[in-house]
Chains A and B, each alone.
Chain A
């Protein structure tokens, strides 16, 4: 198993400002992911973050709005820029702990999430 922590756990922000969410994993992983989840809804993948390369964004998400850093194999940040009330959501990071080269198995561990409210 793995332990993933996120900071902050929650925040209330004013529109037009930016918030950076940190995600720390207790062991080295190649792939980390960022999701958004509205309360009571499903998870939507924002981007995949690999160490040493640019993040890969899903349709509907752009780097200018959600810049991501991945400086090493245990840490990543997601910034929500120029926030609006529509950005109010829970933001989750996850890490892939599947054994490399083992295609028959896949498992991701998730952080506890950051609950963001934009006023």
Chain B
């Protein structure tokens, strides 16, 4: 079956670096996306990895290893506003997203 597993919660302090892991088991895998969702808000796109390796976008980086069915989101220079839920999502069949279990990040001052 399809599954994307993430740690349920991660905590860190401002200025720190955190890594949120995602292990997946899907069929028709095209790539791995990451979305951020604040409480009461809509998910917003952060990154997409179609190929193995690291993609960097400002303070956020995302990594994919197809051979290991594994990816991670790296958040640097954490800020209070980064407190949110983070979801990995597998792009299947080239069009639909299957979302992971989600990780709640809490950033403390």
Contact = CB atoms under 8 A, between A and B. Distances in A.
A108 B45 contact: yes
B43 A43 contact: yes
Contacts of B43: 43, 92, 94, 110
Classify the secondary structure of A's interface with B.
strand
Interface stretch (A13-21, A75-83, A98-106): A98-106
A96 interface: yes
A22 B99 CA distance: 23
A31 interface: yes
Contact of B50 (A45, A92, A103, A112): A103
Interface residues of A, number: 23
Nearest to B45: A107
Classify the secondary structure of B's interface with A.
strand
Nearest to A47: B96
A10 to B, nearest CB: 11
Interface stretch (B10-18, B74-82, B87-95): B87-95
Interface string B34-61: 0000000111110010110000000000
B95 A48 contact: yes
Interface of B: 30-31, 33, 41-45, 48, 50-51, 87, 91, 94-102
Given A48-B95, A108-B97, A111-B42, 4 more contacts: A42-B87, A42-B102, A106-B31, A108-B33
